[in-house]
Every structure is written in C-alpha cells, then in structure tokens.
Amino acid sequence: MSSHSQSVMCKVRVEMLRPERLVLEKEIGEGETVKDLLNKVATTHKEFVEVAFDLQKQKLTGEMAIVLNGQLLNALETKISNGDVVILIPILAGG
Amino acid sequence: MAGTYPTGYAGKVLRINLTNELITEERVDEATLRKYLGGTGLGAKILYDEVPPEIDWDHPENRLIFGLGPLNGIPVAGSGSYSVVTKGTLTGGGTSTQANGHFGAYLKFSGYDAVILQGIAKRWLYLYVHDDTAELRDASHLVGQDTYESEELIKKELGMKEKEMSVVGIGPGGENLVKFACIVGDKGHVAAHNGVGAVMGVKKIKAIAAARGKGRVEVVDGERISTLGKEMIETWKNEPTQSQVYRGGTSFLMLNFLKIGHLPIKNLTTNLYPEEVVRKFTRQEYEKSLKMTPKRCWACPSHHLHMVEVTEGPYKGYVAEEPDYEIWSETSTLIDNQDLGASVMLGDTMDRLGLDGNECGWLISFVMECYEKGILTKKDTDGLEMTWGNVEAAREMLHKIAKREGFGNMLAEGVKRSAQEIGGEALNIAVYSEKGHAPRGHDHRPRWSEQLDYATGGVGTIESGPIAISDLFDVDEVSTKLARVKFRNFVDSLVMCMFPTMTMHVTPGSIERMVEMINAATGWEFTKEEAELHGQRIANLMRVFNLRHGIGTDVERPSVRYGSTPTDGPAEGKGIMPHWECLLDNYYKVIGWDRASGRPLRETLKTVGLEEIIPDIW
C-alpha cells in the first residue's frame, strides 16, 4: 500500500456494467476530487473507460449520474474524503 | 410521380378519405424522401402541408399518419417499428410517437410506406392491407372490444394465424375519445403519446391490419445490410450499458433510478422508497416468480420482452405482456403499490383499454394524493376509495375513464385539465407540462435535460438526444447540447427501434451505422451531416407548426409540482426552476429561435432547408 501519510481510502462502486457489478476500492490523497478518482479507476479498468470516463477529454461519456454518499453530484471537481462512496450510473431512458 | 423510386421504400403512400371511403395511392418524389426520409419526418411534412391552424384534433381535416422509413422490413432488429404523426389532443399540437413490434415490417411488405387517414367515417371501420391492396371493412362488431380482443377477432375473421398479421388499433379509450388514448399493436406494443388513439377514434377507425404476405423489401446491397445488422447485434450484446436491455429488458432501471432520484414516487411527494420493494420490480428478481415466455419483435433476437404469468399473490394466474420500465414505475412506486402481480394487472388493463400508461400513472397518483389530502372524497370518486396503493380502485377508475363514466369522464381529459376542473390546491399537486400533457415514467426534476426537452420539444413527447452530459446540473451544457442534438428525430424518421440500434444513449458509431444502412438500402450517399440536419429540420418544422397552431412560449414550463425541488433523497435540493429562464435563454440562442416569440429565425430556417415556410411566420 502507499506510504503516503495523507492517503485515505475511498470506496468506488460502478453499477450497470456487464452482468457482474464492478466494485472497486481506490486509495486517494487528501484534497483529491471525484475527477482524480475517475482517472485512477480509468487507468486500471478499460471497461470503465468505455462506459464512463473519457481519459483524453477528461469528461464523462454518455449521460451519467454520479452519486456521492447518496447525493447526486454537481461537479467532478467535488473533493472526496475517507470512506466516501461514489456510484456511477449511466442514464438510459427515452422513447 | 412516375420515374425511379429508391429501393428500401415500398413506393406507395396510401391515402384514405374516410368520409367517402375513398382509397387512393400516391407516390412521393425522391427529393422529398431524401429530405424527410419517412416516419416522423415525412409525417411532419404532410401534417404541416395539409393541416392548417384552424383545424383542431377532432376535425375531419386533421390527418393521422402511420409512417415508415427506408429501413422498415429489412431483416435487421428494430425495423418492425412505425411512427404515428398527427395534431394531438393534449397539447393541441404536433405529435410523433412510435411503437415497436411487427407492424412497421408488415405494412411495408403489404406495399406501403405510409397510411394517411383523413375525414371521419360514417360507420366504424377497420383497414386491411395486404399484397399491394387496401380495403376498408366493417368494424361494428369490434366496437367495445379491447385491443387484444379486437386483434384476435380480426385475425380470426381474415383467417390469419398469430404471426401472419400485425394489427394496431384502439380500445374503448380511443372509441370514447379519452384525451390520452393510445394505439396498441401486437398485443401490448404502444404508440402512446398525445392522444393518437382519440384521433383514430374520432375518425371511427378501430384498427389497421397488415398481413405478413410474401412481400419483401428490395435494397441495393442486401449483403451489406446483413453484415451491418449482425455487427449491430454483436455490439448491442457486448456494449456495457445497453447490453442489459438485450439480456433483460429495461426493468433494471427501477433500482438505478431509485438511487439517483429519477424514479417517480407517490406523485413526486418524495424520492425515498424501500430498496427491497423496488428490487422486486427488476427482472433479476421477478424472473424467479413470474412464468415467462419470450415475445419478440420483428427480426429481433433480444430478450427484451416476454409474456408473463403471475404465479403468486392476489393476481395469481394473470397473463399479460411483461411491463417495461415506465409501466413498472407508473404502476408501482408512483401510486405506492408494492405488489408485482398488481402492476402486471394494471399495465395490462391500460394496454387493453388503449390508455397511455404515462398519463394514467400521473392521473391515478394525482387522484390518490387529492384523496389523501381531502381535496377529493369518496363522493367525488363514485364511491371508490382512491387511497395510495389501492390497485383495485385504480383498475375500476381506469375502466371508468375508458368509458367516460362518472368521475372517469373528467379524468379522461388528462391530468392538467382535471386539475383545472378541480381547482385550488389540486393545481399545485398535479404533475403535468403546461403544454397539456403529463411526463413519461420518470421523475424529471433532477433530469434537467429531459425536463427541458419536454417543455421545448414539438412532438408531444421528447425529441432530442442522445447527448453526453458531464454535469447533469450545468445550465449551459444541458441547454447547449439539447439544442444541438436532434438525432432522435432522425431515428424516428427511419423508423428504427432505439434499443437494438443503440441510438437512445451515446454509443460511438450508432448513428453512422444507421446512415450506412440507409445507403445500403437506397443507393444514396447519405451522410451523418444530413442526418444531423434532418433532426434539426424536423424540430424546426414541428416548432413552426405548433406556433401557428397557438402553442407559444408561455406554456413552455412545468406545473408547480413537476417543477418543484426534491425535498429528500439523492436529488434533494436540485431544483430546476431557479435556472429555468437561463436554460431557455441559452437553448433558444443555440438552436436559433427568437426568445420572445419562440419563432425560428429566418437564418435558422434557411440553414435547415425550410426557406419555404419563412413567410408563414415572418
């Protein structure tokens, strides 16, 4: 594990993927944001890049809701901290 | 018009004047086809040209257009759909609504790209199309029958087995001109919005029956179509998000939407509901208890829908089509019903009566909240106890609405008009758009893109997308993207189902694939830019139609409750109304419409190829 004294644990849950739900735990540094977290996940999970986050553009792909600790998120720049739960849910609707 | 006709199309449009029962065939020139494609696009063009502002929805000169595009009937999933275009009942404006199933393929096989109904018949009729022939037949014996029954009776009468014919038609709701009556085909597939069933009812057409026959769709490059179709299905099966629909339909959205505050609950009085209850309404759970038999649309291999049989509880033995997400939400959390079998029953009741599930759900939940608050009493509701979750009272009320009987007669006018009739506090709790229609089966309050689309769109439902939004609550991003992306109109002109084509969500290559299919079918060199322009053209055409028909900017807003700020749950505090004017300002600026009057600017109309209608509004 990181020796970074300020690192904290942040649990990331990504839903609506293939039959199995992708549940990850990622380590983050103090002051890091949801966007920083998405970058970390994207570097290790190609599936995640495909469905949720464009590394190059630094933007979400598709229409996506991010729920941070049970509340819909406004901005990717929102800071996260130890024990936070982040859920990404693609919005599929219409007709 | 004589001369060459692009392949992909059947080559004929059927026009039926019901007043004198005159059937004629017409051809559309190739330039018009390329410009409007078919389905929603060609329907909008016909509607605009033939229905002037003084014509109301129930006037003989209103048109009811069943439209197809160049891809319907090809052996590729999604090509069994059709689009219905008319001047609708609830908004009094342009309407475009689609249904999947088999009808879009069979109508093409019968030799027609569209059916235009005009006039009003003197007696109840149904239309039978087969082998390049159309005939009007007596339907007096079908009056009063529900949509399932009349489909069966027509097939029996014509000696057709289940898969040999597709029937789309109205139930008692349409016959009795319920303002939100829909058109139901292939037992449970619904063209739902803006009262298209009432327009069919006022014209006294009970159904259209299209035979499978021996017809086929001629295309330029069948091999390429086949390859593209296979690629499309493989992509669908493996695309992380939308493969869920391929495997298991749309019910998974129940749980997802609960988590993001998009699930409609108790007439939008809360966004909280027990997760374990909502989970019961997802396929993952209910496939353990419901007996399920696959039911597939034309050429579609997916596991999207089934016929289901309830195996436990008070509705044990009930058989119906498996509800999709919106019917699940509207018959469960929206009205506080926690019984799966009851939802199956209510969804089936709406389909059989020919009532739009969207308007029904909001109407029943509105009445239940009124009842809870004492705004309505048992005396008002003809003795029915409209308490939350009382599904039997809801069933009885749906029948009353369909028959326009007692209290149901007022409710048959829809949520907005019912609230106006009741008055007072009812206006503050009813969920509707000021244009006159209730929303779809979502809580749009934290979904600003669709809330805005509902207010500004010209087709009686939504018309924009698919869009990718990084920040769901960014005023500039939401309104800019919504104004720029109208591919939905393009897909509805084809008319291809959005599930297999993956055009509902932003999926790389999905629009390009549709463009390539058009070219393989017709031999054109259609481009993605043309598709983009097409979407904008139809949005502008419908906008001008609506403006001329009296729908102005003053009704581009949600009702008090529909525009309220969620007070609990994941979307707590995410109210849209403080940003409403800014959203509209930017939307108008980006799309090129005059903010004050709502009129598309001259330059905008020129850009989208609608110069000829500039004098109509400027």
Residue among B253, B462, B470 minimizing CB distance to A92: B253
Cβ distance B252 to A16 less than 8 Å, yes or no, reads yes
The reply to whether A82 falls in a domain is yes
A26 within some domain: yes
For CA atoms B600, B605, B606, B607, give the dihedral sign: positive
| Cβ–Cβ gap A76/B462 under 8 Å | no
> Which residues of chain A make contact with B243, given a CB cutoff of 8 A?
18
Would you call B83 an interface residue with chain A, using a CB distance cutoff of 8 Å? Answer: no
Q: Is the pLDDT of residue B513 over 70?
A: yes
Nearest-Cα distance to chain A for B325, in Å, is: 9
Residue among B496, B507, B529 at smallest CA distance from B40: B496
How many domains would you assign to chain A? 1
Domain CATH number, residue B79: 3.60.9.10
| Residue numbers of the domain that contains B544 | 448-495+527-617
The answer, yes or no, to whether residue B210 has pLDDT greater than 80, is yes
Which of A30-34, A89-93, B287-291, B314-318 bottoms out in mean pLDDT, i.e. has the lowest? Answer: A89-93
Task: Give B492 to chain A, closest Cα distance, Å.
Answer: 10
The answer to whether B12 and B53 have CB atoms below 8 angstroms apart is no
Among residues B65, B301, B79, B294, the alpha carbon closest in space to that of B191 is found at B65
- Tokens matching residue B567: 């007070």
Residue B247 lies in a domain: yes
In this structure, is residue B226 part of a structural domain?
Answer: no
If we measure between CA atoms, which residue out of B234, B173, B168 comes closest to residue B202? Answer: B173
Nearest-5° angle of CA B8, CA B11, CA B12? 135
What integer pLDDT is reported at residue B276 of this predicted model? 97
B410 and B478 fall within a common domain: no
| Residue B464 token pair | 């924009």
For the purposes of burial, counting CB atoms within 10 Å of the CB of A3, is it exposed (0-12), middle (13-18) or buried (19 or more)? exposed
Nearest to A89 by CA among A37, A41, A36, A22: A22
Would you put residue B423 in left (φ > 0), alpha (ψ -120 to 50) or beta? left
CATH of the domain at B329: 1.10.569.10
Distance between CA B415 and CA B413 in Å, rounded? 7
Give me the mean pLDDT over the A56-62 stretch.
Answer: 78
Facing A16 at nearest CB: one of B241, B325, B488: B241
Task: Say yes or no: B258 and B404 in one domain.
Answer: yes
Do B469 and A64 count as a contact with CB atoms less than 8 A apart?
Answer: yes
Interface contact B505-A72, CB threshold 8 A: no
At residue A91, the pLDDT reads 77
Shortest distance between the Cα of A4 and any Cα of chain B, in A, equals 31
Q: How large is the average pLDDT for residues B553-564?
A: 97
Question: A1 in a domain, yes or no?
Answer: no
Q: Write the residue in B245, B259, B469 that is nearest to A89 by C-beta.
A: B259
Of A66, A68, A63, nearest to A94 (Cα)? A63
Q: What is the mean pLDDT of chain B?
A: 96
pLDDT value at B332 more than 80? yes
Are residues A50 and B247, on separate chains, in Cβ contact within 8 Å?
no
To the nearest 10°, the Cα dihedral for B391, B392, B397, B403? 130
* pLDDT value at A92 more than 90: no
The pLDDT tens digits for B20-64 are: 999 999 999 999 999 999 999 999 999 999 999 999 999 999 999
Q: Helix H segments across B412-502?
A: 415-422, 426-429, 448-456, 475-484, 487-494
Is residue B618 a contact partner of residue B548, using CB atoms and an 8 Å limit?
A: no
Tell which residue, B473, B598, B447, B500, has the closest CA to residue B76.
Answer: B500
Amino acid at B54: E
**Best residue in A17, A87, A92 for a mutation probing chain B (most B CBs within 10 Å):** A92
- Beta-bridged to residue B136, according to DSSP, are B127
Q: Is residue B509 part of a domain?
A: no
Other beta carbons within 10 Å of B379: 8
Residues B402 and B466 in one domain: no
pLDDT band at A12 (very low <50, low <70, confident <90, very high): low
In this structure, is residue A95 part of a structural domain?
A: no
Half-sphere exposure in the Cβ direction for B280 (13 Å, CA): 16
**Which of B429, B458, B474 marks a domain boundary?**
B429
Q: Which residues of B touch A60 (CB under 8 A)?
A: 468-470
DSSP string for residues in B427-440:
HHH---BTTS----
Q: Which of B379, B402, B429 is at the close of a domain?
A: B429
Task: Report the Cα B274 to chain-centroid distance in Å.
Answer: 30
Query: In this structure, are B390 and B475 located in the same domain?
Result: no
* CATH number of the domain bearing residue A25: 3.10.20.30
Please indicate if any CB of chain A lies within 8 Å of the CB of B262. Answer: yes
Judgement on whether residues B486 and B391 belong to the same structural domain of the protein:
no
**Is the residue at A2 inside a domain?**
no
User: Cα-flanking dihedrals φ and ψ of residue B318, to 5°?
Assistant: -70, 130
B466 and A19 within 8 Å at the Cβ level: the answer is no
Interface of B with A in 324-343 (CB under 8 A): 325-326
CA distance B503 to B245: 13
Contact present, B138 and B124 (Cβ < 8 Å): yes
Average pLDDT (B298-306) is 96
Interface mutation vs chain A, best among B194, B241, B257, B475, most A CBs within 10 Å: B241
B235 token code pair: 């992509």
Residue B607, judged by CB atoms within 10 A of its CB (0-12, 13-18, 19+), counts as: middle
| Rg of chain B, C-alpha, whole Å | 22
Let me know: does B112 contact B72? Beta carbons within 8 Å: no
Task: Name the percent of chain B lying above pLDDT 70.
Answer: 99
Tokens 């409750």, residue located: B561
Q: Can you give the pLDDT at residue B505?
A: 80
Report d(CA B285, CA B294) in Å as an integer: 17
> Using CA atoms, how far apart are residues B432 and B415, in angstroms rounded to an integer?
7
pLDDT at residue A11 in the model: 63
Q: Is residue B22 part of a domain?
A: yes
How many domains would you assign to chain B?
3
Short-list B500, B598, B3, CA closest to B243: B500
Please judge whether A16 and B488 are an interchain contact, meaning their C-beta atoms are less than 8 angstroms apart: no
The pLDDT value recorded for residue A19 is 41
Is A35 part of any domain? yes
Q: How many CB pairs under 8 A join A and B?
A: 99
Dist. CA B345–CA B251, nearest whole Å: 16
Q: What is the pLDDT of residue B232?
A: 97
Do residues B35 and B149 both lie within one domain?
yes
Range of the domain at A83: 8-90
| Contact at CB, B570 and A51, closer than 8 angstroms | no
* A55-61 mean pLDDT: 80
Neighboring chain B residues of A88 at a CB cutoff of 8 Å? none
Evaluate if pTM is beyond 0.80. Answer: yes
Q: Specify if A43 maps to a domain.
A: yes
Q: Are residues B196 and B267 in the same domain?
A: no
Is residue B383 located within the same domain as residue B532?
A: no
Residue of A72, A76, A77 to mutate, interface with B, max B Cβ within 10 Å: A72
On whether the CB atoms of residues B121 and B204 are closer than 8 A, the answer is yes
Question: Does B466 reach chain A within 8 Å, measured CB to CB?
Answer: yes
Shared-domain flag, residues B491 and B352: no
- Test B472 with A50 for CB contact under 8 angstroms: no
Q: A39 CA to chain B: closest CA distance, Å?
A: 14
Span B523-535, mean pLDDT? 98
Q: Quick check: B94 pLDDT over 80?
A: yes
- The edge-to-edge listing of strands for the beta sheet with A85-90 is A22-28, A8-14, A85-90, A64-68, A71-72
Q: What is the pLDDT of residue A40?
A: 82
Tell me if B429 sits within 8 A of B372, measured CB to CB. no
Token digits of residue B440: 């779809």
Q: Between chains, do B243 and A72 touch, taking CB under 8 Å as contact?
A: no
Of B98, B259, B470, the CB nearest to A76: B470
> Looking at the domain assignment, is residue B4 inside a domain?
no
Are the beta carbons of B170 and B180 closer than 8 angstroms? no
B263 and B310: one domain? Answer: yes
Alpha-carbon separation of residue B586 from B196, B267, B348, B543 (angstroms):
32, 30, 42, 17
Task: Mark yes or no for CB contact B471/A76 under 8 Å.
Answer: yes
What does chain B come to in residues? Answer: 618
**Same domain flag for B274 and B180:** no
Cβ density class B441-457: b for 16+ within 10 Å, e for less: bbbbbbbbbbbbbbbbb
Q: Is B186 a residue whose pLDDT tops 70?
A: yes
pLDDT, tens digit, 9 for 90 and up, residues B148-184: 999 999 999 999 999 999 999 999 999 999 999 999 9
**Shortest distance, CA B216 to any CA of chain A (angstroms):** 27
Mutate to test the interface with A, among B235, B260, B305 (most CBs of A within 10 A): B260
Position A3 in a domain: no
Task: Please judge whether A92 and B241 are an interchain contact, meaning their C-beta atoms are less than 8 angstroms apart.
Answer: yes
B481 and B397 together in one domain? no
Interacting residues of B367 by C-beta distance below 8 A, sequence separation 6+: B376, B381, B386, B397, B411
> Which CATH number do you get for residue B467?
1.10.599.10
Q: Could you say which of A50, A71, A89 has the minimum Cβ distance to residue B256?
A: A89
Using an 8 Å CB-CB cutoff, list chain A residues near B304. none
Say if B2 falls within a structural domain: no
> How far apart are the C-alpha atoms of B154 and B160, rounded to whole Å?
8
Residue B14, phi-psi category: left (phi > 0), alpha (psi -120 to 50), beta (remainder): beta
d(CA B278, CA B285): 10
Selecting from A51, A67, A75 the residue whose C-beta is nearest the C-beta of B259 gives A67
Q: Which of residues 234-253 of B touch A (CB under 8 A)?
A: 240-245, 247, 250, 252-253
Q: Is residue B225 part of a domain?
A: no
A38: closest CA among A77, A7, A69? A77
Residue B136: CB atoms within 10 A of its CB come to 17
Query: Looking at CA atoms only, how far is residue A27 from chain B in angstroms?
Result: 23
Residue B317, number of CB atoms within 10 A of its CB? 10
B450·A90 Cβ contact <8 A:
no
